[in-house]
Amino acid sequence: MVGKSERFILWFDEIGIEDIPLVGGKNASLGEMIRELSEKGINVPNGFAITSYAYRYFIKNANIEDKIREILSDLDTHNIRNLMERGRKIRELIENSELPRELEDAIINAYNEMGKRFGYGENPDVAVRSSATAEDLPDASFAGQQETFLNVRGAENVIKACKKCFASLFTDRAISYRVDKGFDHFNVYLSIGIQKMVRSDSASSGVAFSIDTESGFKDVVFITGSYGLGENIVQGKVNPDEFYVFKPTLKKGKRPIIGKKLGTKRIKMIYSECGNGTKNVETTEEERNKFCLSDDEILKLAEWVTIIEDHYSKREGRFKPMDVEWAKDGDGKNVGTGKLFIVQARPETVHSIRDKLVMRNYVLKERGRVLLEGQAVGDMIGQGEVNVIENAKDIRKFKKGQVLVTDMTDPDWEPIMKMAAAIVTNRGGRTCHAAIVSRELGIPCVIGTEKGTKILKTGQKVTVSCAEGEIGYIYDGLLKFEIEEINLDELPKTKTKIMMNVGIPEKAFFDGQIPNDGVGLAREEFIINSYIGIHPLALINYEKLKKRAKNNKKIAEVVEQIDKRTSAYKDKTQFFIDELARGIGRIAAAFYPNDVIVRFSDFKTNEYADLIGGFLYEPQESNPMIGWRGASRYYDENFKPAFGLECKAILKARNEFGLTNIKVMVPFCRTPEEGKKVIETMKEFGLVQGENGLEVYVMCEIPSNVILADKFAEIFDGFSIGSNDLTQLVLGLDRDSELVSHIYDERNDAVKKMIANVIKIARERG
């Protein structure tokens, strides 16, 4: 019997990760999952691999190896025209060569047997996927460099697709990448996977990483998804939905979906009517305004990704984050089974090899006019002259050090991407091609700007900043910036516990990796402003506002804005609860299991009035700084229902997400009696002090908090000193007034005595 190494065909259930030299990384991983993880409930579509031996057999018996060597003899990958010409010649040579009859027969026989063996029927629809033998090594990602063909039916079409796959080992980007990474063109071989299609053309598909792709934070699963077949996400043609799931509490049986972001999802890839191939069509308004996965499906995918990561990490004997592609098999009624499937799994190749002990912090030293914004990839800053290139055939016009601006990228763009100072695209999510490659190359990239190619002009000088959180900004001009480098191993240990102030959830995964003892102050205001943007009472009274909108233009505008922001929600109050819970949850997850003290909202009336619909509910005060703010709002019947939404958000983060490291804090609590009223109001909404370990702190920022510290200590579990407000109230000044700002000093003896007193009482109370 012919040994494994000399067979043309190997079924997925015959191979494992040890067979990469025979079947490439992609196929070996599919076999590994089918053999080892099916019993853990993970669904993987079946099929077979055409081996690398078959590829070598073809090249040798078609007598084309010497011709390929001759074409490559004067290759210059830095000369784009030279690279494109040689790549085209080799691909044409391979595609026009005949497969040996015995190899073609073996492929056709396996395809026909596949339908019978797995119950897929005659002429099953399959994906024909390339799998290079050097693919997805720890320090090199070959993903996406070779071709994939979807919805291929019939033996003749399978053979055509296979020849195109073999030829794709010599795409321009593959040739260039091998040269850059030092791989010999004739030591990298191609295997092909023939895999049953998952009918995501009638459902959804996407990509999932077992770590955060931007920060490298290892305790989350990051999932992207869109309607239709998955190529649009990989190629960056759509801005997908995004989800984060926290792994530690997921493993405890909780439902920790700490991030959900609705993508535009303007198109989807479906089957062509002719029976072979695919096409893109526009999505419906309904599809764009709802998430492509249910919460149960998000959690199931996260569970599978975690199982896959654990399996490969155990096998390798070290932490091994994974990059996974998933698809849903139709709606389960009209098409397919409605089940989720994993269609690929490979090692993540950026953060898995990054030096964790060195932190580089890019800091913009000046501000400029914002020309454009989108999603930031990475945390770097780049700048240079814009070069707008619409089509890959024009990439030879690009010069090293320019800022590449285009609609989207695919692997054909890689020869110039590595020369770019920064990259800006109209389309794509954080798992698209542009995002993956820019991370690997260490180049700042802003994706999904939607109109970058229209607003930015060739020759214009810009600064591209990904160093300001989740949003990436393109500024006019070349702005000054610095790179701070910190060796975490050299940081001294401190006797004092260092807790951080955190308000921006998008930065939490970065901040949490700096040595710390938790979060001393997590502000709700940024989350409410940025994630929600709507006054909570406007959401509570949404149905009443809709009726009033018929006769009031201003209220009609409020309703329109609410509808736009909450399109995925029928229950508008749930939008507030979920968004606030996820913002808080993301911060708490980043610092888990260390304490995270979350301060209830401390907007002043003028700040609340700035939220959508806020003008309907907020009074005008002459001095909002010492007016209706903090604790006095929470038990007031006019605001109490809104405070109830905050309590429900905290409950969700603690109970549903399992983030019991969250403590809450009450700001601007003037009297002990007020403190008791707040505690009782919290109780009305299910947030009970002491229950499930919940601790309630109070801000010490009013002189009465210090003078009556012993009384407040009987009500609350701890103090947090708010020196800003305490200073202005002790010294009797408005810190926002320029006229008296020279007197404002937190080091004033009166302020220091106040702080010393409250510390003394707190210590006495233990």
563-566 contacts, C-beta under 8 A, 24 or more apart: 565/532, 565/533, 565/534, 565/612, 566/534, 566/539
Q: What is the dihedral of CA 226, 229, 235, 240, to 10 degrees?
A: 0
Q: What is the dihedral of CA 446, 447, 450, 452, to 10 degrees?
A: 40
DSSP 8-state symbol, 391: S
Q: How far apart are CA 378 and CA 561, in angstroms?
A: 31
Residue 734 CB coordination number (10 Å): 14
Q: Is 63 exposed, middle or buried (0-12, 13-18, 19+ CB in 10 A)?
A: exposed
Q: How far apart are CA 591 and CA 711, in angstroms?
A: 31
Sheet harboring 204-209: ordered strands across? 257-261, 241-246, 220-227, 204-209, 322-328, 340-347
Q: How far apart are CA 497 and CA 595, in angstroms?
A: 12
Q: What are the backbone dihedrals phi and psi of residue 530, each rounded to the nearest 5 degrees, phi first?
A: -90, -40
To which residue do tokens 């191979």 refer? 15
What is the gyration radius of the CA atoms in the chain, in angstroms? 29
Q: How far apart are CA 541 and CA 322, in angstroms?
A: 45
As given in the structure block, the two tokens for residue 49 are 């691999």
Residues 54 and 62 sit within 8 Å (Cβ to Cβ):
no
Q: Are strands 370-377 and 471-476 parallel, antiparallel or unpaired?
A: antiparallel
Alpha carbon of 586 to those of 216, 256, 597, 651, 689: distances in Å? 14, 10, 13, 14, 22
Fill in the amino acid letter for 735. Answer: R
Q: How far apart are CA 483 and CA 47, in angstroms?
A: 49
158-163 contacts, C-beta under 8 A, 24 or more apart: 158/107, 158/108, 158/111, 158/126, 158/128, 158/194, 159/99, 159/104, 159/107, 159/108, 161/128, 162/50, 162/99, 162/107, 162/128, 162/192, 163/94, 163/95, 163/97, 163/99
Q: What are the backbone dihedrals phi and psi of residue 265, each rounded to the nearest 5 degrees, phi first?
A: 45, 55
pLDDT tens string 47-60:
999 999 999 999 99
**Terminus-to-terminus CA distance in the chain, angstroms?**
78
Q: How far apart are CA 566 and CA 579, in angstroms?
A: 10
Q: CA torsion sign, 370 to 372 to 378 to 380? A: negative
Cite the beta strand spans of 26-146 per DSSP E.
47-50, 126-132
Q: How far apart are CA 184 and CA 107, in angstroms?
A: 28
* pLDDT score, position 138: 45
Alpha carbon 29 to chain centroid distance?
Answer: 23
Fill in the amino acid letter for 244. Answer: Y
Q: Are strands 340-347 and 519-523 parallel, antiparallel or unpaired?
A: unpaired
As given in the structure block, the two tokens for residue 501 are 């102030």
Residues 566 and 638 sit within 8 Å (Cβ to Cβ):
no
Residues 389 and 402 sit within 8 Å (Cβ to Cβ):
no
Q: Which positions of the chain have pLDDT values less than 70? A: 1, 134-145, 351-357
Q: Is 162 exposed, middle or buried (0-12, 13-18, 19+ CB in 10 A)?
A: buried
Which of 694, 599, 683, 662 is CA-nearest to residue 249? 662
Q: How far apart are CA 675 and CA 181, in angstroms?
A: 64
* pLDDT score, position 644: 98
pTM above 0.85, yes or no: yes
Residues 555 and 563 sit within 8 Å (Cβ to Cβ):
no
pLDDT tens string 452-496:
999 999 999 999 999 998 899 999 999 999 998 878 777 788 888
As given in the structure block, the two tokens for residue 765 are 């109370």
90-97 contacts, C-beta under 8 A, 24 or more apart: 90/167, 90/170, 91/167, 91/168, 91/170, 91/171, 92/167, 93/64, 93/67, 93/68, 94/59, 94/64, 94/163, 94/166, 94/167, 94/170, 95/163, 95/164, 95/167, 97/58, 97/62, 97/64, 97/163
Q: What is the chain's length? A: 766
Residues 179 and 301 sit within 8 Å (Cβ to Cβ):
no
